[in-house]
Structure 1
Amino acid sequence: MDRARVLVCLCVCVAIVHGQVASICRPNERLLMCGGCQKTCLDPVPECKGVCRPGCYCNDDEVRNATGHCVKLSECPRLPASYKQQTTEPRPADAKCPDNEEYRFCEACNKTCENPNPICPAQCARGCFCKKDLVRDRDGRCVKLEKCSNKSSNEIPHTSPLDKPVNDSLTCKQNQIFKPCGNCEKSCSNPKPICPAQCSRGCFCKDGFYKAPNGDCVTIDKCPKAVPVTLKPPPIAYELTCGPNQVFKPCENCEKTCSNPNPQCPAQCSRGCFCKDGLYKAPNGECVKLEQCPKGL
């Protein structure tokens, strides 16, 4: 247990003895022995897994402002346009939502006319969501399920905080569809990927198509053929560029020289022109026999 936690625990114990627990924290705050990250105006829903800190935390539905006081989210100053929140949905101005909608800090997905009982991903987002017992129709309005239109579509016609693209003008390319929760995409280079648990929204290749290197979605037979990898460069071309009594080696860790005929070679190697076996590099750069090395080296 770290010193800060011990200090807080001692303060709490002393306060309990003297009946002063409530005076430890300021108004609109509560004491938590194992709290996570502080909710703030800039980040009202912080990702804080595995964090356990004792201290004073804002009450539910309140966040800490720039001066350190706990206020309602609607009382927070509006964020500048240049500020980008790390979230799937920006906070509405003054936290005001349209009719039949309410602002929620952590909601996994929206119920819609097409899918009133969705299987929601593990991650959540904050934004405006339909109130209880309402679903979102094709026009983006929150209505009762019995008022939904009988028209159906295979596309995603409605817009909602979790189901719409980040950019409203986003249109998917040919052979692509928009998915509110896609975790990975098959590609020509990796037709059977191991997909992570976390998902993201965006344009993905349709079923039966694979992402080509140029970004197009094509059938597997239209994928470009793999170019065979040449592990060793053509020896003739490199022999022409190397000097007399030298050969090209793709991986050589050291070279014997007249001054060091028995070197201690490192594990790392490099490619280039090296003296042929049985020859040693002289000070002038030529590869010679050991008996031809200059004396006195």
Structure 2
Amino acid sequence: MFKCAVLIVCYLGLVTAQQLSDYVNPSLNQSACGKNEYFEKCTFECPPEKTCETRLINVYCPAVVMPCIPKCICKPGFYRNGPGGECISEEECGPACPEGEVYKDCRDPCVDESCDAMGSLIPGCKSPESCEPGCVCREGFYKLYNFICVPKCYCPGFWDSPECRN
């Protein structure tokens, strides 16, 4: 009985949200969309539309009923060039990095970004004369098991440190 009541409430909420979304901006339609965009009558805030900078980041969305938002979104293979920007191809976007990382034109391959080394230099490593571009951990982030960049407090041995308890 309880499951049925919840489903009815959810269904009514979705129907109401859909009806409200029809009146949000009636002038917004396909003709309002730019190049490489198409009109979607019902989109949600989560997950957010991928931009050039966020195209490699997967966002977890809670299972919450959200109202629909009609808007123009990028066609497949295109990404928004910043918030409110136009939709451009992945080639035009330039480099992107996974969450917790930033792109550097010149990265030092002798820096150990692991949680164990905390950004210290690799012993015996000699930096090449010319550097290579690539993704590195953001400041204050380190590679957890050489996989993903996480804040220092997520590194083993720091979870219980005074600076990480807050």
TM-score in terms of structure 1 length = 0.23
Bigger proportion of residues as helix: 2
Q: Larger relative CO (CA 8 A, sep 6+): 1 or 2?
A: 2
Structure with larger Rg? 1
TM-score in terms of structure 2 length = 0.37
